[in-house]
Amino acid sequence: MDIMESRWEIDGTQQNNPADVLQTPLIFTLGVAETRKMHERHVLIVKLWLVNNDISAFEAFERQAAKAMAGFGARIERVIRISSADCDDDTPFEIHIVSFPTAAAFQMYLKSSESTKLSGVRDTVIARSEVLAGVDVNGYA
């Protein structure tokens, strides 16, 4: 089922706009019978390599991307910049931990006009990216 065809509910009331659901701090239900609490977020580990080492353009793009993703309930939880002493062509410039309320919210962002508008800029500052998806689990300490 396509996410745009899904039924969205808040406290048993059907919603027509999925964005309303993403902004509601309640338990919500997807029409595909999947229920998630807001703390059970879809987590992405994103490795990023720069074009021409243009850090200032990269940082400006990342601020725009963070703002666009926030409209879909996303958060950049952590940014780790790799030490330049450890860098080679196989080492990313930065690693981001990003979370969305659900995998469906992430897919909605990817298909959004906001994401499409940013893709041209993205291609001028990011040479390569790798994305791994997962969920939070309890720590080991």
Residue type present at position 82 = I
Per-residue model confidence (pLDDT) at position 3: 42
User: Does 3.20.20.70 match the CATH number of domain 39-135?
Assistant: no
Considering only CA atoms, which of 116, 114, 108, 47 is closest in space to residue 81? 47
Whether the model clears a pTM of 0.85, i.e. scores above it, the answer is no
> What per-residue confidence (pLDDT) applies to 139?
82
pLDDT (0 to 100) of residue 10: 44
Domain ranges, ordered by start, for the chain: 39-135
Q: What is the pLDDT along the chain (141 residues), one digit of tens a residue?
A: 344 444 444 444 555 555 544 444 433 444 433 444 445 899 999 999 999 889 999 999 999 999 999 999 999 999 999 987 566 778 999 999 999 999 999 999 999 999 999 999 999 999 999 999 988 888 888
d(CA 67, CA 114): 10
In this predicted structure, what is the pLDDT of residue 76? 96
pLDDT of residue 14: 54
Contact 140, 94 (CB under 8 A): no
Say how far apart CA 129 and CA 33 lie, in whole Å: 32
User: What pLDDT sits at residue 129?
Assistant: 95
d(CA 45, CA 131): 6
114 in Cβ contact with 71 (< 8 Å): yes
pLDDT of residue 30: 42
CA geometry: angle 52, 58, 60, nearest 5 deg:
145
What is the pLDDT, as a whole number, of residue 135?
A: 80
**Bridge partner list, 45:** 97, 132
